[in-house]
Structure 1
Amino acid sequence: MKVVVVGCTHAGTAAVKTILSENNDVDVTVYERNDNVSFLSCGIALYVGGVVEDAQSLFYSNPEELESLGANVNMEHDVKNIDTDNKTLTVENLKTGETFEESYDKLVMTTGSWPIIPPIKGIESKNVVLCKNYNQAKELIERKTDKQKITVVGGGYIGIELVEAFANDGKDVTLIDGLDRILNKYLDNEFTDILETELKDRGIKIQLNEMVQGFVDSESGDTTTVVTSEGEYESELVILCVGFRPSTELLKGKVDMIGNGAIIVDDYMRTSIPDVYAAGDNCAVHYNPNGGHAYIPLATNAVRMGFLVGKNIKDTKMKYRGTQSTSGLHLFGFNIGSTGVTAASSGAFGLETKSVLFEDYYRPEFMPTNEKLLMKLVYEKETLRIVGGQVMSKYDITQSANTLSLAIQGRMTIEDLALVDFFFQPHFDRPWNYLNLLAQKALEQEGLINHVEKESFDQA
């Protein structure tokens, strides 16, 4: 059987490795338009900020490794067309300009995503750059050295992490976003209010509710003014981080997709065309909080989906469990985790929810040091099923986001979480773990208990 894999970042690399490790009779050919595979773009901000000194460490595989496993790897080859009826591809060798046809028995589409580039006047300026792949990361490092005024457009994870990296490097940083809050996809306002105050206290200019309308270069070309609906901001370097779109043009009109062009796959990573599989940032995922499809481009989703392509390339062996869009962030000393819907986003996913906010210390007051936790639980109004959660602290509480993710995937209720068996050790938590207490707060809100069961440690 001949399998052709188009695109080889996270999902593609995982698919190739799994196919070859579990099958001795499968011929795997890879076509990748870039000159590298498996680049962890989530580490770009760490590279820009100097935490990671060698960008090569952000790769966890390479063409040579895939070839050693038995793959036929073709770098800098761009697939121009796919004929799904005749199972053929048209491929261009970007180094030589040669074009040729390739056939397949099964096709794996792991073409990923690309930054959204809005049709804004002046966007072609040399001072306006993207932040996605290895070459763009290198450009940021090279160009930031002699730049002082830097503007980041977009207040999602990548944008915020770059803001922190540049601020720590002593740059004059401006953050612009068209919405009224940073990190609005992941956190509710109780959390973002704290983070926005922290950014402002560090001298970062935050310009929210401002739509970028144009980029105007100076006569010398050394600076670019970002023109928004509310003001103008002179910059020496502008980084666009306004989101991603799935790279699915090759299959447009050929397979089922959601509105933004992300490919719909079944539980075994098969598209609506037999023998065509897809995985990663070019796909819609099964979103467990509401049981529907959503576009959530995360490396964790991509690796899982690519692995499942490999498991199911011959037969349906292992089902996809869906995702909760679980993520974490370290920002100016805060450790932040989020999973599922927020109170603000739940309506957009067709859910009627309620939520509780809970603040506590992570361990007993008799311990010599301590840190406060801020936690929020979002649950379905009728069933009391947990559908989202957020946690934040100077203490590393981020693994609790994984616990809440498991609760959502397992369709647990607030009562289930309130009584889960967690260990107690004074170094780490209380006899009632803070997640127990968070869920008990929800039970109290529902009138199912009279008070949150916090202990008296004076008698401990």
Structure 2
Amino acid sequence: MKIAVVGCTHAGTAAVKNMAELYPEAKITVYERNDNVSFLSCGIALYVGGVVKDANGLFYSSPSELQEMGVNMKMKHEVTNIDTDGKKIAVRNLETNEEFEDTFDKLVMTTGSWPIIPNLEGIDLNNVVLCKNYQHANHIIEKAKQAKKIAVIGAGYIGAELVEAFEVYGKEVTFIDSADRILNKYLDPEFTNLMETEFENRGVKLALNQAVTKFVGSEGSVEKVVTTEGEYEADLVILCVGFRPNTDLVKGQVDMLPNGAIVVDEYMQTSKKDIFAAGDSCAIYYNPIKKHAYIPLATNAVRMGTLVAQNLVKSTIKYMGTQGTSGLHIYDYNVASTGITETAASLFDMNVKSITISENNRPEFMPTYENITLKVVFEEETRRIVGAQVISKIDATQAINTLSVCVQQEMTIDELGFMDFFFQPHFNKPWHFLNQAGLQALQA
């Protein structure tokens, strides 16, 4: 059995490692454009901020490790064409420019995603940079050493983490987004308001509800970001406006969402037999809305890659779907969310209600305690839990993992009130704050 794997970051690495163990007689060939695999881009801000001193720690595998497992690693090789019906691929060696063809019995598309690059005047100026891979991380660090005024465009997780890192680093930072709130895809206003205030208190300039129209510079380098509402000086601009699936190679050959994300079934198989896909190149089943959606996360990618290997020869283990569960640490705040927000529910024509509680993490007779704010979103008719968010200066984020399971198992908000949680004054109250949310929702 000949297996061709295109791309090898998170999903690809997971698929390859498992396939090498499950099918020792198979000939597995990986085609990867870069010279590395398994880079954790979620650690870029930690690297930029100096928390992670050695970028090598952001890799959890290597081409040599996979090669030792018997995998044929074709690094710095670009796949230029795929014929899914003829089971052929065209490849170019990026170092020698040699071009050749290969065949496959099974194809694994783990091509990931690429940053969205807006078509704007001045986008090609020096010091307007992307934030995705290892090379980008190193460019950002080098350029940030000389920069004084930095603009971060795109107020998602990566953007927020970079803004914090640059501010702590002593830079003058402007945070720009076309939405009226930061982190609006993950959190509702009562949570984003807290974080916006924190940024502003630390001197970060928020430029929200305005779109970038162009970049202005001289002598080839950026000097200013122009938006629909104003102009902001910047000698370094980081683009974090989102990602698009990197799937042009199989466009028109397998089913996709309008944005190009490959649709896979519960066994990671595409609409075409023997073609599998995983990771940021895919649309996956999103449990809160019970439909496929594009949710690029490393956690989803490694699960999907593992399942590709398990199901490559025979459909064996079903994917359980995702809740898009994620977490964030900004300054003193620990934040996490799962499922849909109350704001997003309207976009899916879902009729929801929510319960928000503010509670101390342990009894007030203890020497210290800290406030936790928790919001749980649930369907009004079925009372099925569809999302949750938590924020606190202590780490209460594991509660979101619990609520992620609740969403996955279609539990109701009423059941949450009576789930079995332990009590010990060092850790919590007799009624766990998750129980309290469920109990208060009985009146909702």
TM-score, with length taken from structure 2: 0.99
Per-residue CA deviations over 1:328-380 (Å, capped at 9, x if unaligned) read: 00001100010000000012223211111110101100110010001101001
Per-residue CA deviations over 1:16-42 (Å, capped at 9, x if unaligned) read: 001111222221100001111000000
Q: Which residue of structure 2 aligns with residue 303 of structure 1?
A: 302
The amino acid of 1:43's aligned partner reads G
Per-residue CA deviations over 1:156-202 (Å, capped at 9, x if unaligned) read: 00000000000000100000000000000000000000110110000
Residue correspondence of structure 1 range 253-268 to structure 2 within 5 A: 253-268=252-267
Aligned-pair identity (%): 60
Asked if 2 retains the 8 angstrom alpha-carbon contact of 1:180 and 1:209, the reply is yes
- Work out the CA distance in 2 between the residues paired with 1:7 and 1:46: 25
The amino acid of 1:181's aligned partner reads R
Q: Which residue of structure 2 aligns with residue 275 of structure 1?
A: 274
- Work out the CA distance in 2 between the residues paired with 1:124 and 1:142: 18
The amino acid of 1:424's aligned partner reads F
Q: Which residue of structure 2 aligns with residue 350 of structure 1?
A: 349
- Work out the CA distance in 2 between the residues paired with 1:83 and 1:45: 39
Per-residue CA deviations over 1:214-263 (Å, capped at 9, x if unaligned) read: 00103x44542100001001111000000000000001011000110100
Residue correspondence of structure 1 range 39-438 to structure 2 within 5 A: 39-218=39-218, 220-438=219-437
- Work out the CA distance in 2 between the residues paired with 1:146 and 1:108: 42
- Work out the CA distance in 2 between the residues paired with 1:61 and 1:389: 33
- Work out the CA distance in 2 between the residues paired with 1:340 and 1:78: 36
For structure 2, list consecutive stretches of 5 or more residues without a partner in the other structure.
Answer: none
Offset, 1:287: 0.2
Asked if 1 retains the 8 angstrom alpha-carbon contact of 2:126 and 2:222, the reply is no
- Work out the CA distance in 1 between the residues paired with 2:220 and 2:16: 45
- Work out the CA distance in 2 between the residues paired with 1:421 and 1:382: 25
Asked if 2 retains the 8 angstrom alpha-carbon contact of 1:290 and 1:350, the reply is no
Correspondence 1:28 to 2:28: yes
- Work out the CA distance in 1 between the residues paired with 2:440 and 2:125: 52
Matched residue of 2:358: which SS? strand
Asked if 1 retains the 8 angstrom alpha-carbon contact of 2:128 and 2:222, the reply is no
Matched residue of 2:18: which SS? helix
Asked if 1 retains the 8 angstrom alpha-carbon contact of 2:127 and 2:143, the reply is no
Matched residue of 1:302: which SS? helix
Offset, 1:399: 0.6
Asked if 2 retains the 8 angstrom alpha-carbon contact of 1:9 and 1:112, the reply is yes
Q: How many residues align?
A: 444
Offset, 1:440: 1.4
- Work out the CA distance in 1 between the residues paired with 2:21 and 2:3: 14
- Work out the CA distance in 2 between the residues paired with 1:408 and 1:51: 33
Offset, 1:438: 1.1
Matched residue of 1:85: which SS? coil
For structure 1, list consecutive stretches of 5 or more residues without a partner in the other structure.
Answer: 446-460
- Work out the CA distance in 1 between the residues paired with 2:120 and 2:442: 49
Correspondence 1:441 to 2:440: yes
Distance change (3 Å), C-alpha of 1:222 and 1:262: closer
Asked if 2 retains the 8 angstrom alpha-carbon contact of 1:45 and 1:165, the reply is yes
- Work out the CA distance in 2 between the residues paired with 1:172 and 1:320: 45
- Work out the CA distance in 1 between the residues paired with 2:272 and 2:112: 19
Offset, 1:128: 0.4
- Work out the CA distance in 2 between the residues paired with 1:93 and 1:351: 49
The amino acid of 1:157's aligned partner reads Y
Asked if 2 retains the 8 angstrom alpha-carbon contact of 1:176 and 1:206, the reply is yes
Matched residue of 2:262: which SS? coil
The amino acid of 1:308's aligned partner reads L
TM-score, with length taken from structure 1: 0.96
Offset, 1:443: 1.3
The amino acid of 2:338's aligned partner reads T
Q: Which residue of structure 2 aligns with residue 448 of structure 1?
A: none
Offset, 1:135: 0.3
Q: Which residue of structure 2 aligns with residue 457 of structure 1?
A: none
Aligned CA-pair RMSD: 0.8
Q: Which residue of structure 1 aligns with residue 8 of structure 2?
A: 8
- Work out the CA distance in 2 between the residues paired with 1:418 and 1:296: 29
Asked if 1 retains the 8 angstrom alpha-carbon contact of 2:125 and 2:222, the reply is no
Asked if 1 retains the 8 angstrom alpha-carbon contact of 2:245 and 2:281, the reply is yes
The amino acid of 1:435's aligned partner reads L
The amino acid of 2:293's aligned partner reads A
Q: Which runs of 4+ in 1 moved over 3 A?
A: 220-223
Asked if 2 retains the 8 angstrom alpha-carbon contact of 1:109 and 1:277, the reply is yes
**Comparing 117-126 with 19-28, which one deviates more in the overlay?**
19-28
Q: Which residue of structure 2 aligns with residue 38 of structure 1?
A: 38
Matched residue of 1:145: which SS? helix
- Work out the CA distance in 1 between the residues paired with 2:240 and 2:222: 19
The amino acid of 2:261's aligned partner reads A
Matched residue of 2:81: which SS? strand
The amino acid of 1:119's aligned partner reads N
The amino acid of 2:425's aligned partner reads P
- Work out the CA distance in 2 between the residues paired with 1:123 and 1:352: 41
